[in-house]
Structure 1
Amino acid sequence: MPKRILFLVVFIVAAIVFTDLGKHYSYSLLTNIVSNQAVPNIDPEELYALKEPYILLDVRTPAEYKVSHIKGARLANYTTFQVDDLADLPKDARIIVYCSVGVRSSKAGLQLLEAGYKDVAHLYGGIFNWVNNGYPVFDANGQTNRIHGYTRFWGYWLTEGVKVYGK
């Protein structure tokens, strides 16, 4: 009997994870786990409809940014991220940070809030969620369908676009 239950549980989990609906649900759970809840979220739909002024910070690496980024985003390399490097940004500016899935951006967002920035949010689910919802990304030549997958594990959650790994 226990083997049957174990098989049933494994089958249900596999069915959830490996279907599109299951993958979406699993991604939502994962991003909720890895995101810092102290930093408010903004959904891709909200960001796309948002009227300026706001500052969009991409806290991925320069290699990731070069493959593609959200139009108008400023690179704030997480590897070397220092809040002091953003001294040119007013403390009351609306700032939205993003990375691949939300781990780095929620950490950077928290650093910004702790440094006295008043209106900081992070893009829920990161650029993967942005692309998975059909919103455009750009490189130096204009709009592209290429997106840096970060790692094979994280790239699994990227269901749209062409995944690029490495530099």
Structure 2
Amino acid sequence: MHALVILALFNSLFFGLFGVNWEDIDSRITEEFPQVELLSTDSLLNQMQERLSPMLIDVREIEEYKISHLQTAVNVKTAEEIAQLITDKSTPIVVYCSVGYRSAGVAAGLQGMGYENVLSLQHSIFEWANKNYPMIDDQGDTDKVHPFNRAWGALVASRFHQYP
């Protein structure tokens, strides 16, 4: 599991240095985490509106989470921490991050631990923000999102950028 976290951190640095687009992100996720199923932002919004929302896990750093997150999301960064929080391995879980790369790694880790109903939110909170879907911070509604780094930040409209 630690190898997955190290790999995700390395690739975050790599992507941050060389720039990305959605096709690059999607290809990388498909190559590295082929077993992980993706959920579209539209599908998750529909589930939330119908009150069928799964357990939402935000795996970003706390600084990112504090700027904005999805309503009801819990900030937990690793599969091991999630396993301590959610012991029923049949619980529907959706994991998200900035673009879907870190969350795919955590979803793969959960699947490796026997979790049966884990999805990664495709394009994660950046696409969610770009579509003006609802996000919150500790003060209430917000439209801001932490852009993670310069390269990944190009994938979310600059009007939504906010740093701590």
How much does 1:130 deviate?
A: 1.0
Question: In the alignment, what sits opposite 1:124?
Answer: 122
Instruction: Give the Cα–Cα distance (whole angstroms) in 2 for the partners of residues 120 and 33 of structure 1.
Output: 20
Kept in 1, the 8 Å contact 2:60–2:97? The answer is: yes
2:41 to 28, 39, 44: 44
**TM-score of the superposed pair, with normalisation by structure 1:** 0.76
| Amino-acid identity (%) | 30
2:94 to 90, 93, 96: 96
CA RMSD of aligned residues (A): 1.7
**TM-score of the superposed pair, with normalisation by structure 2:** 0.78
The equivalences for 1:2-151 within 5 A come to 27-35=21-29, 36-50=33-47, 51-77=51-77, 81-89=78-86, 90-151=88-149
The answer to which of 135-144 and 50-59 deviates more is 50-59
Kept in 2, the 8 Å contact 1:131–1:161? The answer is: no
| Distance 1:91-1:153 versus aligned 2 partners, 3 A rule | same
| Distance 1:61-1:52 versus aligned 2 partners, 3 A rule | same
Q: 5+ unaligned residues in a row in structure 1: which ranges?
A: 1-25
Paired AA for residue 83 in structure 2: L
How much does 1:84 deviate?
A: 4.7
Question: In the alignment, what sits opposite 1:9?
Answer: none
How much does 1:37 deviate?
A: 2.7
Q: Which has the larger radius of gyration?
A: 1
Matched residues, number = 138
| Distance 1:52-1:121 versus aligned 2 partners, 3 A rule | same
Kept in 2, the 8 Å contact 1:92–1:119? The answer is: yes
Higher relative contact order (CA 8 A, sep 6+): 2
Paired AA for residue 28 in structure 2: V
Determine helix, strand or coil for the equivalent of 1:71: coil
Question: In the alignment, what sits opposite 1:12?
Answer: none
